């Protein structure tokens, strides 16, 4: 039970077959330190597999809801059509009730490390494990040794290792939503506290990393390996060497090529800077030799589909101001239902965040445009907390960033914001529909940081 680990198996999906995705509860343990508990997951024949497909194919995934609550699947990072995005209500994707099934059509336009997760009651459902990695293979990339690494944290109570018990009550509305989000004290890689992951002893290993936590920002850095980032949020970028730690927020993906150095143990640190480097995770070394790092790096260059390349001058320029409720604004702390409210009214109702002064997720659409139009959005983080702003529908190009220089020029589906930072993005609208735009720190999403845009 314990040793199964999640994502140890791979399911290859093709256009001609429907893939069954069974959302269900399963007794799981994360390792010795935590008592067994009921985890939710997607069963694809084996519990919690990595799904691999090929660019240009179409994934048909049949969700079977065997949970006792409604659910959906969101295809994070993939350009799907209206109604297939897993967001219900006005966003037009059906809510799948207990006992029901639904077929998602997912065209695999863009290669890369993507993922899928519930988008109904997501803070709760993702925290309980309803997610999985989806790898879209690109045949132009060299074949090399790979490891998928899904990072997560789990909320627990108890006095220490062995006595830890998973504690979902930490997900209930609370002040954590108004700070950096809900964080769990137990960290796992692929559902295991002590996974064994091997690198090629010689040459490059591609780490496909996914941050599936609902609130924790990891800050990966490596020791005793040469490490180069080759893709962010699935899309390949101009490769750059990872010499210090990098912001790696909820929902984001990072593909890193690592090659062990001649001596010392290959180690990954995930700690947040505030608390030092954190505990190191040591890789094992496998027997297999892989392509050399230098050769592998030649094969990576920025991926940018023609239809997503923004025009040099934008049709519309929009501003999104992200802040906490105001303490000294003449009109009030923020708006609910179109009315200004005072600070304690907002905070007592767990409205901790404002988008353009609106505190109840009712702003929007932030903009409306037509397919082919270029929109520029200036996003201002006027708050003392970091955020990860995720666009549904398509990747966007980052034009400037005051806190994440390495993102400039790249295409991502999420944008990094350190405290008090700003960034500008440009996007060429690609798919008709209503598309959410929200913070992927999910405690923020449910307490004000959610809006949308409309494409016709």
**Binding residues vs Cu ion (CB under 5 A):** 387, 439, 441, 444
Judged by CB under 6 A, the stretch of 175-183, 272-280, 402-410, 435-443 that binds ligand C2O is 435-443
In the block, residue with structure tokens 């993939």: 78
Residue closer to Cu ion, measured from CB, 208 or 440: 440
Residue 418 contacts residue 404 (beta carbons within 8 Å): yes
**R_g (Cα) of the chain, nearest Å:** 21
Q: Which of 438, 446, 448, 452 binds ligand C2O (CB under 6 A)?
A: 438
**420 DSSP 8-state letter:** T
**218 DSSP 8-state letter:** B
The yes or no reply on residue 390 touching ligand C2O (CB under 6 A) is yes
Residue closer to ligand C2O, measured from CB, 39 or 440: 440
Answer with the entry of ligand C2O, Cu ion, none that 215 interacts with (C-beta below 5 to 8 A by kind). Answer: none
Report in angstroms the alpha-carbon separations of 123 from 42, 79, 130, 262, 441: 16, 23, 10, 43, 9
Considering only residues 294 to 313 of the shown chain, the ones binding ligand C2O according to CB under 6 A are none
The distance of closest approach from Cβ of residue 126 to Cu ion in the complex, given in angstroms and rounded to an integer, is: 15
The distance of closest approach from Cβ of residue 73 to ligand C2O in the complex, given in angstroms and rounded to an integer, is: 11
Answer with the entry of ligand C2O, Cu ion, none that 354 interacts with (C-beta below 5 to 8 A by kind). Answer: none
**Structure-derived torsion over alpha carbons of residues 289, 291, 292, 298, reported in degrees to the nearest 10:** -170
Residue 389 contacts residue 382 (beta carbons within 8 Å): no
Q: Which of 39, 79, 392, 444 binds ligand C2O (CB under 6 A)?
A: 392
The distance of closest approach from Cβ of residue 277 to ligand C2O in the complex, given in angstroms and rounded to an integer, is: 28
Answer with the entry of ligand C2O, Cu ion, none that 216 interacts with (C-beta below 5 to 8 A by kind). Answer: none
What gap in Å lies between CA 91 and CA 87, rounded to an integer? 6
What gap in Å lies between CA 355 and CA 381, rounded to an integer? 10
Residue closer to Cu ion, measured from CB, 426 or 441: 441
Residue 249, classed as helix, strand or coil, is coil
Answer with the entry of ligand C2O, Cu ion, none that 439 interacts with (C-beta below 5 to 8 A by kind). Answer: Cu ion
Answer with the entry of Cu ion, ligand C2O, none that 119 interacts with (C-beta below 5 to 8 A by kind). Answer: ligand C2O
What gap in Å lies between CA 137 and CA 44, rounded to an integer? 19
The distance of closest approach from Cβ of residue 94 to ligand C2O in the complex, given in angstroms and rounded to an integer, is: 16
**327 DSSP 8-state letter:** S
Q: Which of 74, 253, 350, 444 binds ligand C2O (CB under 6 A)?
A: 74
The yes or no reply on residue 251 touching ligand C2O (CB under 6 A) is yes
**Total residues in contact with ligand C2O, by rule CB under 6 A:** 10
Report in angstroms the alpha-carbon separations of 85 from 118, 154, 445: 10, 26, 17
Burial 18-55 (b: 16+ CB within 10 A, else e): ebebbbeebebbbbebbeebebbbbbbeebbbbbebbe
Answer with the entry of ligand C2O, Cu ion, none that 441 interacts with (C-beta below 5 to 8 A by kind). Answer: Cu ion
Answer with the entry of Cu ion, ligand C2O, none that 117 interacts with (C-beta below 5 to 8 A by kind). Answer: ligand C2O
Answer with the entry of Cu ion, ligand C2O, none that 377 interacts with (C-beta below 5 to 8 A by kind). Answer: none
The distance of closest approach from Cβ of residue 332 to ligand C2O in the complex, given in angstroms and rounded to an integer, is: 29
The distance of closest approach from Cβ of residue 437 to ligand C2O in the complex, given in angstroms and rounded to an integer, is: 9
Considering only residues 114 to 153 of the shown chain, the ones binding ligand C2O according to CB under 6 A are 117, 119
Answer with the entry of ligand C2O, Cu ion, none that 203 interacts with (C-beta below 5 to 8 A by kind). Answer: none
The distance of closest approach from Cβ of residue 454 to Cu ion in the complex, given in angstroms and rounded to an integer, is: 22
Residue closer to Cu ion, measured from CB, 194 or 382: 382
Residue closer to ligand C2O, measured from CB, 74 or 444: 74
The yes or no reply on residue 387 touching ligand C2O (CB under 6 A) is no
What gap in Å lies between CA 251 and CA 212, rounded to an integer? 6
First vs last C-alpha separation in the chain: 49
Angle at 307 between CA 301 and CA 308, to 5 degrees: 65
Partners of 260 in the β-ladder = 225
What ranges make up the beta strands (E) of 197-252?
198-202, 205-211, 221-223, 225-232, 235-241
Query: By Cβ distance, which residue is nearest to ligand C2O?
Result: 76
Interface with ligand C2O (CB under 6 A): 74, 76, 117, 119, 251, 390, 392, 436, 438, 440
């Amino acid at each position: 039970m314990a040793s199964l680990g999640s994502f140890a198996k791979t399911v290859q999906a093709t256009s001609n077959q429907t893939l069954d995705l069974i959302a269900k509860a399963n007794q799981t343990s994360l390792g010795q330190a935590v008592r067994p508990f009921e985890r939710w997951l997607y069963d694809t024949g084996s519990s919690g597999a990595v799904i691999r497909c090929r660019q240009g194919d179409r994934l048909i995934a049949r969700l079977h809801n065997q949970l006792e609550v409604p659910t959906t699947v969101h295809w994070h990072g993939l350009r799907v059509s209206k109604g297939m995005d897993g967001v219900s209500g006005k966003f037009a994707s059906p809510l799948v009730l207990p006992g029901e099934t639904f077929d998602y059509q997912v065209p695999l336009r863009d290669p890369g490390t993507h993922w899928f997760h519930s988008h109904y009651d997501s803070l709760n459902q993702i925290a309980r494990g309803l997610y999985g990695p989806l790898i879209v293979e690109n045949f132009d990339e060299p074949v090399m040794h790979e490891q998928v690494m899904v990072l997560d944290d789990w909320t627990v109570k108890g006095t220490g290792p062995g006595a830890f018990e998973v504690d979902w009550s930490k997900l209930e509305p609370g002040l954590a939503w108004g700070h950096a989000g809900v964080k769990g004290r137990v960290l796992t890689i692929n559902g295991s506290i002590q996974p064994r992951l091997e690198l090629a002893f010689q040459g490059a290993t591609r780490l496909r990393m996914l941050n599936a936590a609902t609130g924790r920002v990891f800050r990966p850095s490596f020791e005793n390996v040469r490490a180069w980032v080759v893709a962010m949020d699935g899309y390949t970028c101009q490769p750059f060497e990872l010499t210090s730690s990098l912001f790696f927020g909820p929902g984001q993906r990072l593909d890193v090529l690592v090659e062990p150095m001649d001596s010392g143990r290959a180690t990954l640190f995930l700690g947040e800077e505030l608390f030092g480097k954190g505990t190191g995770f040591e890789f094992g070394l496998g027997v297999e030799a892989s392509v050399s790092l230098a050769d592998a790096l030649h094969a990576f260059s920025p991926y940018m589909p023609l239809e997503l390349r923004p025009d040099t001058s934008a049709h519309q320029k929009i501003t999104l101001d992200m802040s906490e409720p105001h303490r000294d604004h003449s009109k009030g702390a923020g708006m609910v239902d179109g009315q200004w409210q005072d600070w304690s009214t907002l905070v007592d109702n767990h409205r901790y965040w404002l988008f353009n002064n609106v505190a109840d997720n009712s702003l929007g659409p932030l903009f409306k445009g037509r397919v082919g139009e270029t929109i520029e959005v200036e996003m201002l983080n006027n708050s003392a907390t970091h955020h990860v702003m995720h666009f549904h529908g398509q990747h966007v190009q980052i034009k400037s960033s005051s806190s994440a220089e390495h993102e400039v020029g790249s295409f991502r589906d999420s944008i990094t914001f350190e405290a008090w930072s700003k960034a500008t993005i440009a996007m060429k609208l690609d798919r008709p529909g209503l598309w959410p735009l929200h913070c992927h720190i999910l405690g923020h999403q449910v307490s004000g940081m959610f809006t949308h845009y409309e494409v016709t």
